[in-house]
Every structure is written in structure tokens, then in C-alpha cells.
Structure 1
């Protein structure tokens, strides 16, 4: 799979990205995304003059999308700097271990540099030992924290 291409998602990719996101949610034992996820992603990625969200896809030589990564600039109060938050990185089970993960991370790093950002941050479930080994091999440093969510209603 080293002939895979990592590129920015296009509008016609969003149904597949939404399907991959649903696989990702199931893999992480999370609630499924909303049924209109592709339309929501379209609004975030393509219907604004300054999109906050970026989506990269791993495309195989046969044009199948085998995975995706999303990211958005965020702020750190403690360092008073911006960083790139990698919200998702997912590859189909069949596509793991073939070098696509490093390609996606390299593309995320390129995205950060293009935005003038010097750091990328992300999280992964503590039980996801495969992802933890992958991130450790990249030279990433874990920062243990619990993530909370609170509805506004």
C-alpha cells in the first residue's frame, strides 16, 4: 500500500469519510455519528471562506479511501500559543500496518507547518494499545488526562 496517496478530502469523498467515521466510532465503542454527518462535514470543510476543519484521506491506487484524519487549529492558554489538534486518525482494519498511518501523520505535520503551528496534539483511548504503540514509534509524548464532555442543554 505504499503507492497510496494522502490528499485533502473533496466533496465527493464525504459519504465515504462519514462511513469511515462510523467505523471509527464503533471501533472506539462510542455513539455513532449523526446520520447527516456527510452534510455537516461538507458545511465545515467547503461552505465557509475560512474552514476551521481540515480532512485528509488515504486513497489506495484503486481509488478506495482506506482512512482519514481530521484536524483543526486550537489554543493553549498555558503556553499562549496555537497548535493543531488532530481530532481523528482512522484506518480500516485491513489497511493498518501498511505505512498509511505515517503518511497521514506526515500530512498532518505538513498542514501544521503550513498554518505556522509548531505542535500537534491528540488523544487516544487508554485501551487502544495498537494506537499507543504507533504514536510511541513516531516519537510522540503522551500527556495523561481524562477527557470530559458536558452537553449545553
Structure 2
């Protein structure tokens, strides 16, 4: 990659591409695909709420192609009685990993935390994703052993 890559806040025009990347991300993690109207739902969370709850950052190659994204939002730690920034997703399209874009995205998420006055970022990754585990370990992050549960509420 020649030139300087860029990480920036996503705009409305980026959301169809973020949806494509989210679909690739879900496939990579062996999960169900995103909802068909994900771009519209993200627009509401990012731009239409009186106080946007979600932040989305995109990684862009020097030629302007969006090849990755990270999303984050403030959450609460009951045990510590404070907020932290939860990074829900970080994904780079195949062929764009190992080029420093992941570190740029994590740095941008950390900058979001600082801007919000938060002193910690938390996230998770599947235990089988050895490349991501090595990447996060190189950043100096520490892992915590937990199981993630999901309970769908209907009706």
C-alpha cells in the first residue's frame, strides 16, 4: 500500500460499505448475517438519535477504498461504578490485514474513549481467532476468560 491510510468517522455514504464489511465479518466469525436493513439501523444509531449512542470508524486506503471498520459505544461497569468504551466490532477485509490498519482503528477507538473521558476500552474476540488474539496481545491488551451469552427476547 503506497500513500497514507486514513481512519475517520463514518458518514452516511459509508454505511452501505460498512454493511458489506459487517456481512463479511459475520461470515468470518461463523455467525448469522446482519439484518437486511443494517445500514438504515446504523444511520439511526449514528446520526438520527438526539444523542448518538454508537460511534463507527472506517479504515480507508490511500485511494479512498473503505476496507475496515470499528464500532464502539459507552457501557457501564457495575463493579467499578464507571463507564468504559465497548468496542463491539473491529474488522478488516481480507488482503488488508497486517498493514497497520488494525492498529490505526484501535488507536482511533482509544481516542474516542479519551474524548469521552473514559479510561478503558473493552472488547471480545472468538478464542479460535488466533490472528486477532496475537494482534491484541501485541497491543498490550489483556484477555479475560469469560463466556458470552445471548438471550433473544420475543413478544
What's the TM-score, normalizing by structure 1?
A: 0.98
Quote the Cα distance in structure 2 between the aligned partners of 1:92 and 1:151.
29
Residue by residue, what CA displacement relative to the aligned partner does 1:79-135 show, whole Å, maximum 9, x if unpaired? Answer: 101000000000011000000000000000000000000000000000000000000
Structure-1 residue corresponding to 2:8:
7
Gapped regions of structure 2 (runs ≥ 5): none
RMSD, aligned α-carbons:
0.7
Residue by residue, what CA displacement relative to the aligned partner does 1:41-93 show, whole Å, maximum 9, x if unpaired? Answer: 01100101210100000011111101000000000000101000000000011
- 1:84 equivalent in alignment to 2:88: no
Structure-1 residue corresponding to 2:114:
113
What's the offset of the Cα at 1:18? 0.3
**Is the partner of 1:73 in helix, strand or coil?**
strand
How many residues in Structure 1 have an aligned counterpart in Structure 2?
Answer: 153
Structure-2 residue corresponding to 1:142:
143
Structure-2 residue corresponding to 1:56:
57
Q: What stretches of structure 1 move > 4 A for 4+ residues in a row?
A: none
**Is the partner of 1:93 in helix, strand or coil?**
coil
Structure-2 residue corresponding to 1:66:
67
Gapped regions of structure 1 (runs ≥ 5): none
Structure-1 residue corresponding to 2:33:
32
- 1:123 equivalent in alignment to 2:124: yes
